[in-house]
Amino acid sequence: MKYLLSESVRHFSLPNIRVERKIFADGEFYLRLLDDVKNKDVTIISNILASNILELFLLVDAVRRAEGTVVRMIIPYLGYARQDKIFLPGEAVSGAVVCSLLRQLNIPVVAYDVHSSELFQYLPFDHKSVLPCLVKRLPKKKYAVIAPDHGGVERARMVAALLKAPLQVMEKKREGYSVSITFTGKISGKTALIVDDMISGGATVIKAAKAALSHGAKEVIAIAAHGLFLSDARKKLEKSPISRILVSNTLPVKAGGKIEVVDVSELVEKSVFTR
Ligand code: R5P
């Protein structure tokens, strides 16, 4: 299994524009196209990660100067999307900044499983999901689909509809210093399927899994579009009561242990050929 970006290029049998990249001693980034793009329609497929946004702008500039047309940008994983509003006074809304910058390029953008629909006001994405691909890989069971928070309800609803399973939302109630977790419906005797946009440190799905089991779920499976698995997340997930974890290959994730990686390049291929 390869990382989606290279995997998808290989699948498409489309010419791949080679790019030379280097970083100067002062830290400045340099980029040059090594193939001719004159009068060609170019699709850029790139994640937005912590520090590559400038690279994307340089790439678009290089294509345009070489008289090619960037017809669309496909963003399998849009970073910064979790900062979609101000949580603490004085913060920047990084997600809004990134989306507004991308909008200035005036290129149609296709993005997958963006953390927050709040961001659609800054950049009108053609928004798609890899979750149906993951759902196809699930064993047949009696599921109760769980949204681990209210922000993820629409995503989980879509999965519940595909599985024709009930949707339950995990609710956290604070009473003084204690936090109690309940679900909006019964999950007892069912396989709890936790649905999220990403697994980062793993705390969200682990907490939801423990709560589901304590409310009578038979077992817990988790699916998420993007697998970041930061710091010791993999270790924590292996020790957790979750039996299987399915993520896509929008990010370079290695399968292993409980983690299964589903190749979704087929979906990206469709975005390249659909106008
Ligand atoms: C939060 O709102 C997101 O949808 C994910 O639930 C969260 O980012 C997952 O992070 P972690 O795996 O660190 O709990």
Residues forming the active site = 172
pLDDT of 2 reads: 40
**To test ligand 1's pocket by mutation, which of 159, 200, 228, 259 has the most ligand atoms within 8 angstroms of CB?**
200
Question: Which is the closest atom of ligand 1 to the Cα of 115?
Answer: 4
| Closest C-alpha among 22, 15, 247, 217 to residue 135 | 247
* Residue found by looking up tokens 């890989």 in the block: 137
Residue 230 CA to ligand 1 centre (angstroms):
11
Q: Which two tokens stand for residue 83?
A: 């900062």
From first to last of its 275 residues, what are the pLDDT tens digits of the chain? 344 554 545 556 567 888 999 999 999 999 999 999 999 999 998 999 988 899 999 999 999 999 999 999 999 999 999 999 999 999 999 999 999 999 999 999 999 999 999 999 999 899 999 999 999 999 999 999 999 999 999 999 999 999 999 999 998 887 777 778 888 988 999 999 999 999 999 999 999 999 999 999 999 999 999 999 999 999 999 999 999 999 999 999 999 999 999 999 878 777 777 75
Residue 73 CA to ligand 1 centre (angstroms):
25
Q: Report how far residue 209's alpha carbon sits from residue 79's, in angstroms, rounded to the nearest whole number.
A: 25
Sequence length of the chain is 275
Q: Is the CB of 204 under 6 A from ligand 1?
A: yes
pLDDT of 266 reads: 78
pLDDT of 135 reads: 98
pLDDT of 129 reads: 96
pLDDT of 31 reads: 94
Q: Report how far residue 35's alpha carbon sits from residue 16's, in angstroms, rounded to the nearest whole number.
A: 9
Q: Is the CB of 201 under 6 A from ligand 1?
A: yes
Q: What is the CB-side half-sphere exposure of residue 139 using CA atoms within 13 A?
A: 10
Q: Is the CB of 248 under 6 A from ligand 1?
A: no
Q: Is the CB of 196 under 6 A from ligand 1?
A: yes
Question: Which is the closest atom of ligand 1 to the Cα of 206?
Answer: 14
* Residue found by looking up tokens 């290695």 in the block: 254
Question: Which is the closest atom of ligand 1 to the Cα of 233?
Answer: 12
Number of H helices, E strands in the chain: 8, 13
Residue 61 CA to ligand 1 centre (angstroms):
34
Give 72's strand partners: 43
Q: Is the CB of 84 under 6 A from ligand 1?
A: no
pLDDT of 206 reads: 96
In contact, 41 and 63? CB cutoff 8 Å:
no
For the range 238-247, what are the long-range contacts, defined as Cβ-Cβ under 8 Å and sequence gap of 24 or more? 240/202, 240/205, 240/206, 240/209, 240/210, 241/209, 241/210, 241/213, 242/194, 242/205, 242/206, 242/209, 243/219, 245/199, 245/205, 245/221, 246/134, 246/137, 246/138, 246/221, 246/222, 247/134, 247/199, 247/223
Residue 6 CA to ligand 1 centre (angstroms):
26
Q: Report how far residue 4's alpha carbon sits from residue 38's, in angstroms, rounded to the nearest whole number.
A: 26
pLDDT of 16 reads: 80
**To test ligand 1's pocket by mutation, which of 197, 206, 251 has the most ligand atoms within 8 angstroms of CB?**
197
